[in-house]
Amino acid sequence: MTGSRTVYGSRGRPVLAGLRYRGRQGMWAWLLHRTTGLGILLFLLLHIFDIFLLGFGPDVFNQLLFIYSAWWARLLEVFLLFGVLFHALNGLRLIIQDFWPGLWRYERQMILAEAAVFVPVFLWGAYIFLLPLFD
Amino acid sequence: MSNQAIQAFGRRRGRPPSSNFELYSWFFMRISGVVLLGLAVFHLFWMHAVIGVEEIDFNVVAQRWTNPLWRLYDLFLLAFALTHGMNGLRIIVDDYVHKAGWATAVKAALFVIYAAFLGMGAYIIVTFTPVASTPAAAL
C-alpha cells in the first residue's frame, strides 16, 4: 500500500486486507446463497400476507394486486427468479458434495457447471417474466 | 442419525453437531431443499409461463383452488418453504448474535413469526371459499 493512512478494523487488521480476502468461487457462492435465501424469505412473508387477504373477498384482494402489476414489480420478480434459481442450483451442489465427499476437490468445476445451467435458464425465464411489459 | 450424516455435517460446518436437533435440522435442510427445488421452481414457472402473473386475480385463484390437489400442493409448498427459510434464518442468527440471551430472544421472536405466518397461510388455503363474487360479465 502506498497510502499514508491505513484504516484498522476492530481486530487490529487493516480493513482493506479483509476486503481482499480471496475465497474465490466458493466464497461468492456462499455469500450469494445467504443473500438470495434472505431475499426469498422476505418475499415469501409478503406473499403469504397477500394470499391471506383472499379471505377478505375479491375487492380487497384485487386492489392489492397493483403491487404485482406495476412495471417495477416485474423487475423485482426477475430478481426473485435470479434468487430462487441460484439458491436451488447452488443448494443442489452443496447437497451433492455432502453426500459424495469425493467431489469436494472439484468445487470450482461444480460451480462452473452450476453457472452453465443457470445462465441460459435465467435468461429464458427473465425473458418470459418481462414479456408482459412489452404488450 | 448415522455416522455418515455426522461426518457430512462436520465437513460442512467444520465442527461436530452440538445436539441431535442441530443434526436433524441440517438433514432437514437437505431434504426440504431437494423438495423445494421441484415445488418452488415449478410454482414459479407455472404462475409466470403458463398462467401469467398479469392474469392473476381473485377469480383465478378461486378457480385454481376448486381442485383440492392444488390446495395440497400449495400447502406443501407453504410448509416446506417457510420452514426451510425460517430455519435458515435461525442458522444465520447463530453466526451474528453471540450473546446467548440475545440469541434466545431473537430465535423466540423468529418462532412466533414462523408460527403466525404458517397459521395465516394454512388457514386461507384450507378454509377459502369464494363468497358470492359476481363476475362483471354476469351483470
Give percent of chain B above pLDDT 70.
Answer: 93
DSSP class of residue B50 equals I
| HSE, side-chain direction, 13 A CA sphere, residue B88 | 22
Q: b/e for A11-34, b at 16 or more Cβ within 10 A? A: eeeeeeeeeeeeeeeeeebeeebe
The residue of chain A nearest to residue B131, with distances taken between CA atoms, is A57
Domain limits at A35?
24-134
Please, which pLDDT band fits residue A85 given cuts at 50, 70 and 90? Answer: very high
CATH of the domain at A93: 1.20.1300.10
- A58 with B44: Cβ contact below 8 A: no
- Number of structural domains (chain A) is 1
pLDDT tens-digit series, residues B82-107? 999 999 999 999 889 999 999 999 99
Mean pLDDT of B108-119: 98
Q: Please, what is the average pLDDT of chain A?
A: 86
Q: Is residue A86 part of a domain?
A: yes
- A44 with B81: Cβ contact below 8 A: yes
pLDDT tens-digit series, residues B37-52? 999 999 999 999 899 8
pLDDT tens-digit series, residues A87-111? 999 999 999 999 898 888 888 899 9
Say yes or no: A91 contacts chain B, CB-CB below 8 A: yes
The pair phi, psi for residue A13, each rounded to 5°, is: -105, 145
pLDDT tens-digit series, residues B120-131? 999 999 999 986
Residue A9 makes CB contacts below 8 A (sequence gap 6+) with A15, A18
pLDDT tens-digit series, residues B25-36? 999 999 999 999
- B57 with A49: Cβ contact below 8 A: no
Q: Which of B89, B92, B124 sits opposite A54 (nearest CB)?
A: B124
Rounded CA-CA distance A12/A14 in Å is: 7
**Contacts A70 to B, Cβ<8 Å:** none
Rounded CA-CA distance A38/A83 in Å is: 9
Please, which pLDDT band fits residue A19 given cuts at 50, 70 and 90? Answer: low
Q: Is residue A36 part of a domain?
A: yes
Q: Does A79 score more than 90 pLDDT? A: yes
Q: Check if the beta carbon of residue A68 is closer than 8 Å to that of residue B47.
A: no
β partners of residue A53: none
Rounded CA-CA distance A114/A128 in Å is: 21
Note the ipTM here.
0.90
pLDDT (0 to 100) of residue B104:
95
Q: Is residue A8 part of a domain?
A: no
Q: Does A77 score more than 90 pLDDT? A: yes
CA distance A63 to chain B (A): 9
Mean pLDDT of B5-20: 90
What sign results for the dihedral spanned by CA atoms B114, B119, B124, B126?
positive
Q: Is residue A18 part of a domain?
A: no
Q: Which three cell numbers stand for residue A31?
A: 455469500
Greater confidence (B77 vs A16) lies with B77
Q: How far is CA B70 from the centre of its chain?
A: 16
Q: What domains sit in chain B, N to C, each tagged with a CATH number?
A: 3-129 (1.20.1300)
Q: Is residue A12 part of a domain?
A: no
CA distance B98 to chain A (A): 16
Q: Is residue A38 part of a domain?
A: yes
